[in-house]
Structure 1
Amino acid sequence: MDDNARPHRSRAVVDYLQNNAVTTLPWPAMSPDLNPLEHVWDILGRRIQALQPPVQTLRELEAALHREWLQVTREQIRRLTGGMRRRVDAVIRARGGFTRY
C-alpha cells in the first residue's frame, strides 16, 4: 500500500516500482487515509515504542512485531473496520478536506 507521502517515496521504492512494472493508482499526497490497516500499524508502533528494554536489532524488532501482532484482538480489528462508514461519510461531508480521522 502506497499513500504517496514523501517518506514512503524513497528513490529505492520508485526504482523498484519502475523496474518491476508495478502499476500504481494516482493518489495525491495528503489525501484522507481510509485504510484501517494504517491504524493497526499505529497500534503496533506504539506498542513497540513502549517496550522496555527497547529493541536493539532488526531480529529483535521482527520478533517483537510478530509478538505484538498476535496480541491485536479481533475486537480491535472489528472496531477499525466497523468505523469505515463513518470515516467515508466524514470525508464526503468535508469534501475531501480535513477530518478527525
Structure 2
Amino acid sequence: EEESSTAKAFKIPGFQGQISFITSMSEHFCGTCNRLRITADGNLKVCLFGNSEVSLRDHLRAGASEQELLRIIGAAVGRKKRQHAGMFSISQMKNRPMILIGG
C-alpha cells in the first residue's frame, strides 16, 4: 500500500477483489496525501474537506507562464494542512457539495 493512499485495502483469502475503507475522520492521512483537484470552473483544491481554492482559470486567462503556474500551485500545496478540521468544524464550513467540485 502506498504511503499517500487515501484508502485502506483488505483482501479476504480465497476471494477475488478487495474491500477498501477511507478513514479520513478517524485516521487522518492529510500529511501524506498527494492529491489535488481542479474543479470544473478552473479552481485548484488541495483538500476536499477544505474550502480554500485558487483560481487557475483566472491566472491562465491573464497569460500566466508555466513558471508562474508552477509557483502558484506550489504555494497552494505548501499551505496544505497536516490534518483537516474535526467533524463539527467541517459541517460548519461553506464548502461546495461534491457534485459541484467534480471528479
**What TM-score does the superposition give when structure 1 sets the normalisation length?**
0.29
The structure whose RCO (Cα within 8 Å, separation 6+) is larger is 1
**What TM-score does the superposition give when structure 2 sets the normalisation length?**
0.29
Query: Which structure's residues are more often helix, by fraction?
Result: 1
